[in-house]
Amino acid sequence: MLTDRQLLILQVIIDEFIESAHPVGSRAISKKGHVSYSPATIRNEMADLEDMGYLEKTHSSSGRIPSEKGYRYYVDHVIVPTMTQSKLNIMEHIIQDDFFEMEEIVQKSAEILSDLTNYTSIILGPEVFETKLKQLQIVPLSQHKAVAILITDTGHVEHRSFTIPVEILASDLEKMVNILNDRLHGVPLIHLQDVLNTEVVTLMKMYVQDYERSYSYLKHAFFSEQPVNIYIGGKSNILTQPEFKDVEKVRSFYTMMENKDELVQLFSNMQSGMNVTIGHENKFEAIKDFSMITATYSLDKGQQGTIALLGPTRMEYRKVMTLLNAVANEMTDALYIWYKNNGQ
Amino acid sequence: MLTDRQLLILQVIIDEFIESAHPVGSRAISKKGHVSYSPATIRNEMADLEDMGYLEKTHSSSGRIPSEKGYRYYVDHVIVPTMTQSKLNIMEHIIQDDFFEMEEIVQKSAEILSDLTNYTSIILGPEVFETKLKQLQIVPLSQHKAVAILITDTGHVEHRSFTIPVEILASDLEKMVNILNDRLHGVPLIHLQDVLNTEVVTLMKMYVQDYERSYSYLKHAFFSEQPVNIYIGGKSNILTQPEFKDVEKVRSFYTMMENKDELVQLFSNMQSGMNVTIGHENKFEAIKDFSMITATYSLDKGQQGTIALLGPTRMEYRKVMTLLNAVANEMTDALYIWYKNNGQ
DNA sequence: TGTTAGCACTCAACCTTACCGAGTGCTAAT
DNA sequence: ATTAGCACTCGGTAAGGTTGAGTGCTAACA
């Protein structure tokens, strides 16, 4: 357990380091005010803090920098208790727009967040979790070409063009789509495969001639991809951070950002509320020098999305956490109202 | 006009520099074979080439590097005459896929191109030019919420959700969409606005009650954005190039890549066929250290898309031009066949 | 016992200097 | 017209010196 003085010193060091990116020395702390002890005393405390693993040195006679454990302590014990549930009304002007679409809100928010923080923002749209199928459609483009369109109740649209082999009758497809629409309307996306394989299949066998072939085609067209909405804002922001002068780091970061699957995994086991992941707590090597702060926003019935900000471990935790908290709350509020007005 | 020997030397210097990224000296050229003159002779020629502006020095006693004018000469006089119209059959396996969609082909091609070259590839989908509207649709999500979907004959799908104000009758919207579909089917996207404002408006005034309001809503939902398909592959590839050790360059590059509008502008006045833009010939400051090679591919009736590869000015022009040429041809061929089989 | 002044020590960062080698330009010889 | 020879230039690297911010430890002090 840390004494008050140790906690104070730890806090000052972290605040200072977050601002300057340079190791912090005892003299600097003593001068900065707040701590009214001599450098020597502070040095002793710093040595203790280092022994306990909260601080590190870059070399034997350097000042101290926070360790990941230090940041963790700071986040858990210093910031959280002082967080206010303030509303910043950041998103007011977005929500007001008449032509809003969930995906647009989400995208705009990502941009705003990275502009305000100078970090990279990632937003994961509402989970497939409770999202339901609204409608399936096939629009023929020509004799052998069509677009399959899938619409969810959140207004998300997936589409995929495909060629219809001559062997398959257009009428069969049409019948099939009708059956599918009839049966699958309102089914959560996550259960689509199940319902398809049980109820629907038998039905289709009855009515559709060349069932086997047509079914495999449709299945491929409609359900081959899991719809995920992921938006990234301000990727080039991290380049302004001094810790990323090294091109190798930049490279691994960008490679990661281009890989949707990995990104989705990043968020896989986040609970509701705020989450801070510091450095190696992260599961990917590529961002072991990063911290990530995530918050969840909710839609009406348990649907849940994630907002995240990604920056160096030397991140402005307090600012970002306050901001993210506010934005998540505002999104939840706005979406609640929206659902109430427009809900099915 | 260059003598044969000067041309040879220029060529050797450029080839060498493209490979090594280091200034090329007279001794190295003499040793490499091909040029059977002494270093002194070569030095004289190099001095002449520098006077003419084809070569540069990085400092007074360094070897020579090609100037932009040098690359330009090389591209115009050395490469073009030797280019064969070879078919590389790179895309065979993509085209074979049954479930292909133009947008997918395009995206896959972008990836393949950047993998093969280690540069960044940009592909611009077929221009709106001749793309025609296939169908408009409105799918209601709830009482006051709907998705507007626009489908083109190339299989491209645009969508946008919007809220329907209480004042507007759903039946009005439906009528309207019917009229629009009837009248706008087959109209090139580029003329949509015109046709809307002339023919369609009068028709709608006749049949639709609260015409003014409904119309402005629909217009916003369907036609507020120009649909552009732009795909970028291998953004992080350029980080492997030694000239981009400087983080500032990386930053300006990425900032540019995140800005669709600028990217589209980049391609604005490209003619058919191959185009090479070297360094400052480019209109954007952010990529003044880059060269861009573009090729156009065509669809059936004058629709045209652009493929581009973006790399350092020290780019493997010959390889990239050969490759790009082949890919563009193969795309054109494949799309021609596709159109013949599936065309309307 | 907790705090602080003093002091020797460490090490990154920076500067200077020296030197090497790849390269040039020019001149004179072939 | 070509080339050998030579003085010169300059980036790059390595070695040594200096500075200053910082530490740990000891001993004195409240």
Q: From CA A202, how far away is CA B285, in angstroms rounded?
A: 62
Hunting for tokens 């357990």 — which residue is that? A1
Q: From CA A304, how far away is CA A295, in angstroms rounded?
A: 10
Residue A258: predicted pLDDT:
84
Confidence of residue B265 (pLDDT cuts 50, 70, 90): confident
Q: What is the CATH number of the domain that holds A29?
A: 1.10.10.10
In a domain, A202, yes or no: yes
Question: Between chains, do A142 and B258 touch, taking CB under 8 Å as contact?
Answer: no
Residue A163: predicted pLDDT:
74
Q: From CA B190, how far away is CA B134, in angstroms rounded?
A: 13
Interface test with A, best of B138, B145, B253 (most A CBs within 10 A): B145
Q: Which of B47-51, B198-202, B231-235 has the highest mean pLDDT?
A: B47-51
Residue A25 is encoded by which pair of tokens? 């020395």
Minimum Cα–Cα distance from A252: chain B residue = B236
Residue type, B273: G
In a domain, B171, yes or no: yes
Asked whether residue A21, judged by its CB, lies under 7 Å from any atom of the DNA or RNA strand D, the reply is no
Query: Where a domain ends, among A196, A223, A250?
Result: A223
Residues B105 and B252 in one domain: yes
Residues B64 and B104 in one domain: no
Q: Is A294 helix (H, G, I), strand (E, B) or coil?
A: strand
With 0-12 / 13-18 / 19 or more C-beta atoms within 10 angstroms meaning exposed / middle / buried, residue B309 is buried
Residue A128: predicted pLDDT:
56
Residue B344: predicted pLDDT:
44
Contacts B137 to A, Cβ<8 Å: 137, 139
Residues A106 and A136 in one domain: no
Measure CA to C1' and name the residue nearest D5: B40
Residues B242 and B120 in one domain: yes
Average pLDDT over residues B246-275: 85
With 0-12 / 13-18 / 19 or more C-beta atoms within 10 angstroms meaning exposed / middle / buried, residue A46 is buried
How many structural domains are present in chain A?
3
B159 interfacial to chain A (CB closer than 8 Å) = yes
Q: Give, to the nearest 10 degrees, the angle between helix B317-342 and helix B102-117.
A: 160
Q: Are A140 and A330 contacting, i.e. CB atoms less than 8 angstroms apart?
A: no
Residue B157 is encoded by which pair of tokens? 């799908």
Interface test with A, best of B134, B236, B243, B299 (most A CBs within 10 A): B236
Residue B34 is encoded by which pair of tokens? 């091909």
Confidence of residue B99 (pLDDT cuts 50, 70, 90): very low
**Tens of pLDDT, residues A119-176:** 999 988 776 556 788 888 888 877 777 888 888 887 788 887 777 777 777 777 787 7
Residues B240 and B254 in one domain: yes
Give the distance from residue A13's alpha carbon to the nearest chain B alpha carbon, in angstroms. Answer: 28
In a domain, A273, yes or no: yes
Q: From CA A21, how far away is CA B186, in angstroms rounded?
A: 60
Task: Of A91-95, A229-233, A322-326, give the lowest mean pLDDT range.
Answer: A91-95
With b for 16 or more beta-carbon neighbours within 10 A and e for fewer, the B188-208 pattern comes to: bbeebeebbeeebeeebeeeb
Average pLDDT over residues B238-257: 87
Give the distance from residue B193's alpha carbon to the nearest chain A alpha carbon, in angstroms. Answer: 20
Closest CA to A138 of A99, A181, A86, A102: A181
Regarding beta strands A64-66 and A55-57, do their DSSP bridges make them parallel or antiparallel, or are they unpaired?
antiparallel
Query: Where a domain ends, among B166, B191, B223?
Result: B223
Give the distance from residue A274's alpha carbon to the nearest chain B alpha carbon, in angstroms. Answer: 29
- Please say if the pLDDT value at position B164 is more than 80: no
Task: Of A240-249, B98-107, B118-127, give the lowest mean pLDDT range.
Answer: B98-107
In a domain, A87, yes or no: no
Asked whether residue B50, judged by its CB, lies under 7 Å from any atom of the DNA or RNA strand C, the reply is yes
Residue B102: predicted pLDDT:
64
Regarding beta strands B290-298 and B275-278, do their DSSP bridges make them parallel or antiparallel, or are they unpaired?
antiparallel
Residues A120 and A134 in one domain: no
Taking only residues 89 to 128 of chain A, the set having a beta carbon closer than 8 angstroms to any beta carbon of chain B reads 98-103
- Please say if the pLDDT value at position A183 is more than 80: yes
Residues B270 and B338 in one domain: yes
Of A145, A224, A250, the CB nearest to B155: A145
In a domain, B101, yes or no: yes
Q: What is the CATH number of the domain that holds B98?
A: 3.30.450.40
Asked whether residue B271, judged by its CB, lies under 7 Å from any atom of the DNA or RNA strand D, the reply is no
What region does A162 belong to: left with phi over 0, alpha with psi -120 to 50, or beta?
beta
Residues B98 and B165 in one domain: no
How many Cα atoms are found within 13 Å in the side-chain-facing hemisphere of B291?
22
Closest CA to B123 of B145, B146, B91, B98: B91
Query: Where a domain ends, among B223, B252, B272?
Result: B223
In a domain, B42, yes or no: yes
Closest CA to A268 of A228, A235, A315: A228
Taking only residues 207 to 226 of chain A, the set having a beta carbon closer than 8 angstroms to any beta carbon of chain B reads 220-221, 224
Minimum Cα–Cα distance from B152: chain A residue = A141
Residues A249 and A198 in one domain: no
Q: From CA A194, how far away is CA A305, in angstroms rounded?
A: 24
Q: Long-range contacts of range B50-54, CB-CB < 8 Å, 24 or more positions apart?
A: B52/B2, B54/B2, B54/B10
Q: From CA A316, how far away is CA A34, in angstroms rounded?
A: 20
Q: Are B218 and B148 contacting, i.e. CB atoms less than 8 angstroms apart?
A: yes
Q: From CA B296, how far away is CA B329, in angstroms rounded?
A: 9
Give the distance from residue B15's alpha carbon to the nearest chain A alpha carbon, in angstroms. Answer: 26
Alpha helix locations (H) across chain A? 4-20, 26-31, 39-51, 68-73, 80-82, 92-96, 102-117, 170-184, 192-195, 201-207, 211-223, 247-257, 260-266, 317-342
B141 interfacial to chain A (CB closer than 8 Å) = yes
DSSP letter at B343?
Answer: -
Residues A335 and A251 in one domain: yes
Within B 24-83, residues with CB less than 7 Å from strand D? 37-38, 40-41, 44, 58-62
Confidence of residue B86 (pLDDT cuts 50, 70, 90): low
Confidence of residue A302 (pLDDT cuts 50, 70, 90): low
Q: From CA B298, how far away is CA B329, in angstroms rounded?
A: 9
Confidence of residue B64 (pLDDT cuts 50, 70, 90): very high
% of residues, chain B, pLDDT over 90: 33
Residues A251 and A288 in one domain: yes
In what helix (H) or strand (E) does residue B8 lie, and over which residues does it extend? helix B4-20
Average pLDDT over residues B157-169: 76
Question: Between chains, do B165 and A139 touch, taking CB under 8 Å as contact?
Answer: no
Taking only residues 165 to 184 of chain B, the set having a beta carbon closer than 8 angstroms to any beta carbon of chain A reads 165
| Residues across chain B | 344
Closest CA to A142 of B339, B161, B202: B339
Q: From CA B316, how far away is CA B322, in angstroms rounded?
A: 10
In a domain, B34, yes or no: yes
Determine the structural domain holding residue B289 and report its residue range. Answer: 92-126+229-342
Chain C footprint positions (protein CB, under 7 Å): 3-6, 9-12, 21-27
Within B 9-48, residues with CB less than 7 Å from strand C? 22-28, 39-40, 43, 46-47
Minimum Cα–Cα distance from A149: chain B residue = B157
Give the distance from residue A300's alpha carbon to the nearest chain B alpha carbon, in angstroms. Answer: 14
Residues A233 and A316 in one domain: yes
Question: Between chains, do A342 and B144 touch, taking CB under 8 Å as contact?
Answer: yes
- Please say if the pLDDT value at position A57 is more than 90: yes
In a domain, A32, yes or no: yes
Residue A180 is encoded by which pair of tokens? 């599918």
**Tens of pLDDT, residues A19-51:** 999 999 999 999 887 788 999 999 999 999 999
A53 interfacial to chain B (CB closer than 8 Å) = no
Task: Of A5-14, A30-39, B212-221, give the lowest mean pLDDT range.
Answer: B212-221
Q: What is the CATH number of the domain that holds A153?
A: 3.30.390.60
